[in-house]
Amino acid sequence: MPWTLPYPLGGLASGQRYRYESWILRVVPPWLRRTNGGAMLRAIGAVADALEDRAVAGVRLRFPYEDEDALAIQGREKRIVRGPEEGPTVYAGRVQAWRQAHQKRGSVYALLEQWRAYLADAPRAVDVLYHSGTLYKLYENVGLPIDRAIISWSPEGTQWAQAWCFLFEDADPGVITAAEDAALSAIPRLWNAAHMLPLHVILTWPGAALWEYPVDGLTWTEDAALYTWDDVPHTVI
């Protein structure tokens, strides 16, 4: 019986892979391919094929588009928070671009861009207000750039490294679940500047009121007799 090469000259075509279970029978002497020898060699080849399949699958899991379970792990590692209705393809694209996003991590612009992506399926306005009175606004209209303004803001009992994040809901969100709490607090926790105090998220909506915010809202001096904290709907995360 003439001996043949176990693989074609020039290698396999693109996308093809050797299967050890069949390859091993082509490189051993004919007498070893018989009943018992052939069965043993096929078993060895099958184990080698299984190991190779797992190794290839493990390498592929490095890439965001290959597996949704692995995508969730990669997203957590890269600190990219997935939006509530964000599809796997869109989210994989953001995870793949994590290096570019992290170049500005710690700045308020990177923080608000993460909010923009998180809220992409249901855009909402977000304000980040610093103790100094510097206000950054992410508008509900995704076509508008992030705006910066200086307002008169002098909260008592706060520190210079403190800021507040206001998320403007369309309606009363009701009771916030533990999962929603974790999701909404993740972006400020992961993307706030390292020197800042924890950035709390304050949910507000039409008909809700917050003491002294917006600036022309309720004040302690003028409206303290009209409201108590229990009367003013608000949610702090």
Contact 131, 155 (CB under 8 A): yes
Interacting residues of 60 by C-beta distance below 8 A, sequence separation 6+: 66, 67
Is the preceding peptide bond at 173 cis, omega within 30 degrees of 0?
A: no
Indicate whether 6 pLDDT > 50.
no
Query: Residues 222, 136: contact at Cβ < 8 Å?
Result: no
pLDDT in the model for residue 158: 75
- Alpha-carbon distances of 106 from 95, 103, 129, 155, 237, rounded to whole Å: 18, 9, 15, 23, 20
pTM above 0.85, yes or no: no
DSSP state letter for 86: -
Cβ partners under 8 Å of residue 130, min gap 6 = 162, 163
User: How does DSSP assign 16-29, residue by residue?
Assistant: ----HHHHHHHHS-
CB atoms under 10 Å from CB of 76, counted, come to 14
Return mean pLDDT, the chain. Answer: 82
Instruction: For residue range 68-119, list pLDDT tens digits in order.
Output: 888 988 999 999 999 999 999 999 999 999 999 999 999 999 999 999 999 9
Q: Give 151-209 pLDDT, tens digit per residue.
A: 887 777 678 888 999 999 999 888 888 988 998 899 999 999 999 999 889 998 888 87
Q: What is the predicted pLDDT for the residue at 138?
A: 96
Percentage, residues of the chain above pLDDT 90: 38
Q: Angle at the Cα of 132 (from 231 to 233), degrees rounded to 5?
A: 10
